[in-house]
Amino acid sequence: MFRRESKPQNRIDSLIGATTRIEGNVFFSGGLRVDGAVRGNVAALPDQPGTLVVSEQARIDGEVQAAHVVVNGTINGPVDARETLELQASSRVKGDIHYKSIEIQQGAVIEGRLVHHAAEVKQVELKIAK
């Protein structure tokens, strides 16, 4: 009846280091911190409440999808934060942003649309008797 919201993780399970460059898609569960560069999509596993942290020196060229996203670096591509999005002062996002809850610090730059996730509408299946 009541939907529980996932909470952002304080723990980082995986790290893409500052001197690391990845070309290809990255899928993760738990917490992922990006300090380096990713040329490809970065997404939390669909049924996992993942947290993505993009540090000040990090760069992602691709789509980003996670329940919780904290950005202080650069993302060139659309962002889908299913729960919370935090754009810190040094963040630069070029692409549309979909969010449920957002915090934007002074200095953050967005080149794209901000789209609020509307409350989920429960669909009722109607069975038609033949």
Give the residue carrying structure tokens 């009541």. 2
* Residue 88 vs residues 30, 58, 93: alpha-carbon distances, Å: 21, 13, 11
User: Over the stretch 9-51, which tens digit does the pLDDT of each residue have?
Assistant: 678 999 999 999 999 999 999 999 999 999 999 999 988 889 9
Sign of CA dihedral 74, 110, 77, 66: positive
Distance CA 71, CA 126 (A): 42
Domain coordinates in residue numbering, the chain: 14-116
At residue 69, φ and ψ (nearest 5 deg) are -130, 130
At residue 98, φ and ψ (nearest 5 deg) are -110, 130
User: Over the stretch 68-107, which tens digit does the pLDDT of each residue have?
Assistant: 999 999 999 999 999 999 999 999 999 999 999 999 999 9
User: If DSSP codes are grouped into helix, strand and coil, which group holds residue 9?
Assistant: coil
Mean pLDDT, range 62-66, rounded to an integer: 98
pTM score of the predicted model: 0.84
